[in-house]
Amino acid sequence: MSDKNMTLTLRIWRQKDANSKGGFETYTVTDISPDMSFLEMLDVLNDNLTKEGKEPVEFDNDCREGICGMCSLVINGIPHGDQHRTATCQLHMRHFHDGQTITIEPFRAKAFPVVKDLVVDRSAFDRIIAKGGYISVNTGSAQDANNIPISKEAADAAMDSAECIGCGACVAACPNASASLFVSAKISQYTFLPQGQPERYRRVLRMVEQMDAEGFGGCSNHGECEAVCPKGISIANIARMRREYVKASLR
Amino acid sequence: MAFSVDKIKEGKPLDGRIPEGPIEKKWDRRKNELKVVSPNNKRKYTILVVGTGLAGASASAALAELGYNVKTFCIQDSPRRAHSIAAQGGINAAKNYQNDNDSVFRLFYDTIKGGDFRAREGNVYRLAQLSVDIIDQAVAQGVPFAREYGGLLANRSFGGVLVSRTFYARGQTGQQLLLGAYGALMRQVDLGQVEIFPRREMLDLVVIDGKARGIVVRNLITGEIESYVGHAVILASGGYSNVYYLSTNAKNSNATAVWRAYKKGAYFANPSFTQIHPTAIPQSGHYQSKLTLMSESLRNDGRVWVPKKKGDKRPPNQIPEEERDYYLERKYPSFGNLVPRDVASRNAKFMCDAGYGVGEFGRAVYLDFSDAIKRRGIDYIRDKYGNLFEMYEKITGENPYEVPMKIYPAPHYTMGGLWVDYNLMSTIPGLFVLGEANFSDHGANRLGASALMQGLADGYFIIPYTIGDYLASTDLPNVTTEEKEFQESRNAIQEFVKRLLSVKGKKTVMELHIELGELMWDYVGMARNEKGLKLVLEKLPELKKEFWNNINVPGSDKNLNKALEFAGRLYDFIELGELMALDALHRNESCGGHFREEYQTPEGEALRDDEHFSYVAGWEYPGNDEDTPILHKEPLVFENVKPTQRSYK
């Protein structure tokens, strides 16, 4: 095992807080097993830094199984690294090689201000969801679940969009820092379902308005968002959101 | 000084305030008795909710819909990150959509039996009744559950049951249900009924005149200590599996909120009842930070086996059929691979302990899909479990469509938690506890797909009724954050934080947490015995000493500092570990996930002692950290199901 272990050079963005100027620091980690996850490699670095009396690198993470959307990081220029459909927490060191230099930065976007080091503030996403990323039903007033038949195709399509984990990689990858993939995935989920119809037009207008107000850029079809999305959310959602928006605006 | 069973003092018995009458009428009866707050008066009340998983988010939304002012707190950057999001397999409901003779009673019975007769009948029956409303509510919210071509909802089976009552959204059921509840919560934020406080960690409960009146939290970004007043406090802060360091829980999942409430007088019930899930990806090295679950739903189509020959190192595909031991199918012919979790986990451990384990360290068994792929086709398997297979391949680098998965048990869920009565109120008036944070419904072992059910039943359908009764019948004078109780809490927290930063020792928080985890896993894990438990009760106070002498917490308390957060949580975990060991040592029987090696049947199954231990153990904090906690028993009464030796054969 140990002969496969790696020594790596890490260039990591350090920034004290939102108002300070940040910059890269270089660190070396040794004896990194190919079976480690990327975040476990950073755990090792942080333990080393702590023992040297230095401040560890702050990075967001929680479930470490690719579903909570809390981890982020731009790894060698790519949000969540270069493995297809993989969140940073599921990226493993077997995809790196001994002696490699890895550059690690926060997700960068005007609407995602840096909090500290690699941690950014993504609360703009919550504020967008508050404007209609739901169906307005109060608790307790629902009819029997099987009273609304929904075709398997529609349910599957809704699920494909609903898989978004809200990590924000789409924004970080977009040259315009657009949140279109995130917002359109939520809008699409409800567009496919009968439950989503009563608020269909109100939803798209309000969510898009909030997205613009948060300072996200517009979409110009680069497609970087889909390429980095750890859940493979399709860019077709954005086209659907635009159609919905035009329809809603003309009503 | 170590806790000891000889020093346990027994206090007054606990009364769960379960309504009288036939079981199917108990909840209706209670609802009729409960007082209701008028619509105009609801807006005069503020409810503090800690946690935004299924229980916390659904409670926040449902209470706000009624007109209460709600303030909701979470430690993550967004309420949507709570660990309910990671639940994979599904949610149970007694809909009987499959015409397989399911019913409210059958779900109730399965849950009571699955919990090895250590749960309250009244609570569990209500849970089964409410299960059907949860599915209706979730579908109305647009949760995209799996469907059949005819447009109706699909179901699958889970362990410990003989019907198909589990609703699912691929392998991401928790995510979809949580996003439904989070949406409902954010709708109330938009309407101005809920205020969200993300990146806040509750560090103390404030009790004034004997009632829960507020919380003190640390703002994890600025380090500020903030105080909030409410008319009632709801804890929905999840479970404590991270006491084992390695578990399937998220890294931030912790016991601090419930532990600080315990220290303020809330009793802690059945702390030793923890669930070790049978199908997680085995540990691959010492650096490992967490264990990843593979959903129990996989046992619908996967077959568990080990080689018949000890230490057989051949790759699985070179071991012929007749040299494989499908030990679950052999030992439990009627339930086969779908035995409950505690049974499946224990058997995996037995096989590995006996030398039949596979993988590099011999601590794994195979979960094999080749038969199902042959029978149903690869597309069927991909459609049902695609994302789980993908996740497995990412972590292990092996393709489970071609080689069997290797799995091993991992700490996953804690049935124990703060004691609550039938109304979900703790022993502190005004403190309600929901979801995994309470102890209420799963006895000594939780069935698969029942955690989501309980979290949402508590939040959507129970607390909106019961909290109104408390508010309408309780005198709650105005208080401010300047009361001396608030000031004392703030001072104590500030001192604790300062002390953590001042030790400047040689061990990192992670190193000490790994030490705690190893102790807990070895002595309070899947199998326990008197000698080990006594030993760990000696070792944990030493670990506490080591903590205060040798911990190294870098950085400052004035900004984001995860090491500082984790250090505080670790200390609470060590103390909770002591209580878990004491509880496990005092309970001289085996039941569900609590397996005492001294108490087993000749076949190695859990051997209960109903005569002496048919009770909930509620532990009271004795007022200092040295004395052994005080035991309060709540007798369990079985009027509808007769406790028997559980059999899944």
Q: How confident is the model at residue A2 (pLDDT cuts 50, 70, 90)?
A: low
Q: Catalytic site residue B341?
A: yes
Give the residues across from B274 on adjacent strands.
B414
Residue B645 confidence (pLDDT): 87
d(CA B62, CA B614): 35
Domain shared by A86 and A104, yes or no: yes
**Tokens (6 digits) for B499:** 């002390």
Give the residues across from B46 on adjacent strands.
B69
Domain shared by A138 and A233, yes or no: yes
| Nearest CA-CA distance, residue A136 and chain B, Å | 7
d(CA B346, CA B341): 8
d(CA B216, CA B568): 15
B158 compared with B273, residue with greater pLDDT:
B273
In terms of Cα–Cα distance, which of A200, A111, A133 is closest to B188?
A: A133
| Tally of domains in chain A | 2
- Cβ contact (<8 Å) for A190 and B62? no
In angstroms, what CA-CA distances link B523 with B73, B309, B537, B590, B634? Answer: 34, 29, 10, 15, 26
d(CA A196, CA B144): 11
A61: nearest CA partner in chain B: B251
Task: Choose one of A116, A143, A167: the last residue of a domain.
Answer: A116
Considering only CB atoms, A130 lies closest to which of B189, B293, B397, namely B189
pLDDT at B418 over 50: yes
Give the pairing type, strands B232-235 and B431-433. Answer: parallel
Any B CB within 8 A of A98 CB: no
In angstroms, what CA-CA distances link B86 with A85, B67, B175, B294, B452? Answer: 17, 30, 6, 11, 11
Dump pLDDT digits (tens) for B472-498. 999 999 999 999 999 999 999 999 999
Average pLDDT for B186-199: 98
Domain shared by A88 and A55, yes or no: yes
% of chain B beyond a pLDDT of 90: 94
Give the residues across from B216 on adjacent strands.
B204, B227
Helix (H, G, I), strand (E, B) or coil at A44: helix
Q: Which CATH number is A184's domain given? A: 1.10.1060.10
pLDDT at B289 over 90: yes
What are the percentages of helix, strand and coil residues in chain A, rounded to 5? Answer: 40, 15, 45
B192: nearest CA partner in chain A: A130
Any B CB within 8 A of A80 CB: no
The residue from B81, B213, B218, B341 that is catalytic is: B341
Task: Choose one of A84, A116, A148: the last residue of a domain.
Answer: A116
d(CA B476, CA B472): 10
- Cβ contact (<8 Å) for A68 and B86? yes
Phi, psi of B214 (to 5 degrees): 175, 175
Residue A3 confidence (pLDDT): 75
- Cβ contact (<8 Å) for B65 and A65? no
Q: Are A163 and A231 in contact (CB under 8 A)?
A: yes
Domain shared by A211 and A227, yes or no: yes
pLDDT at A63 over 80: yes
Average pLDDT for B619-626: 97
| Nearest CA-CA distance, residue A19 and chain B, Å | 13
Average pLDDT for A89-114: 97
Contacts of A143 in chain B (CB under 8 A): 136, 140
Any A CB within 8 A of B550 CB: no
Any A CB within 8 A of B429 CB: no
Any A CB within 8 A of B187 CB: yes
Q: Is A84 left (phi over 0), alpha (psi -120 to 50) or beta?
A: beta
Domain ranges of chain B: 1-273+415-642, 277-411
Domain shared by A86 and A109, yes or no: yes
Considering only CB atoms, B186 lies closest to which of A33, A85, A126, namely A126
**Tokens (6 digits) for B447:** 């069935």
Domain shared by A112 and A9, yes or no: yes
**Tokens (6 digits) for A208:** 């898009």
Task: Choose one of A81, A116, A151: the last residue of a domain.
Answer: A116
Dump pLDDT digits (tens) for B235-244. 999 999 999 9
Chain-wide mean pLDDT for chain B?
96
Residue B580 confidence (pLDDT): 98
In angstroms, what CA-CA distances link B636 with B13, B15, B606, B641? Answer: 11, 10, 19, 12
Give the pairing type, strands A101-105 and A114-116. Answer: unpaired
Dump pLDDT digits (tens) for B327-353. 999 999 999 999 999 999 999 999 999
Angle between helix A38-51 and helix B509-523 axes, rounded to 10 deg: 120
Average pLDDT for B100-122: 97
- Cβ contact (<8 Å) for B176 and A86? no
Helix (H, G, I), strand (E, B) or coil at A134: coil
Dump pLDDT digits (tens) for B579-600. 999 999 999 999 999 999 999 9
Query: Does ipTM surpass 0.85 in this model?
Result: yes
Give the pairing type, strands B417-418 and B405-414. Answer: unpaired
Domain shared by A103 and A76, yes or no: yes
| Nearest CA-CA distance, residue A239 and chain B, Å | 21
Any A CB within 8 A of B94 CB: no
Contacts of B79 in chain A (CB under 8 A): 126
| Nearest CA-CA distance, residue B599 and chain A, Å | 36
Dump pLDDT digits (tens) for B11-36. 999 999 999 999 999 999 999 999 99
d(CA B397, CA A92): 9
Q: Assign domain B277-411 one CATH number from 2.10.50.10, 3.90.700.10, 2.60.120.10, 3.40.1160.10.
A: 3.90.700.10
Question: Which residues 116-145 of A have a C-beta within 8 angstroms of B?
Answer: 116, 119, 121-123, 125-126, 129-131, 133-145
Domain shared by A243 and A149, yes or no: yes
Dump pLDDT digits (tens) for B502-538. 999 999 999 999 999 999 999 999 999 999 999 999 9
- Cβ contact (<8 Å) for A65 and B86? yes
Q: How confident is the model at residue A142 (pLDDT cuts 50, 70, 90)?
A: very high
Q: Which CATH architecture has domain B1-273+415-642?
A: 3-Layer(bba) Sandwich (3.50)
Question: Could you list the residue range(s) of the whole structural domain that residue A15 is in?
Answer: 2-116
Domain shared by A28 and A135, yes or no: no
Average pLDDT for B283-295: 91
pLDDT at A1 over 50: no
Any A CB within 8 A of B416 CB: no
Residue B235 confidence (pLDDT): 98
Dump pLDDT digits (tens) for B204-217. 999 999 999 999 99
d(CA B492, CA B501): 14
Helix (H, G, I), strand (E, B) or coil at A170: helix
Helix (H, G, I), strand (E, B) or coil at B276: strand
Residue B647 confidence (pLDDT): 84
Find where tokens 């690690």 sit: A104
In terms of Cα–Cα distance, which of A36, A95, A136, A110 is closest to B142?
A: A136
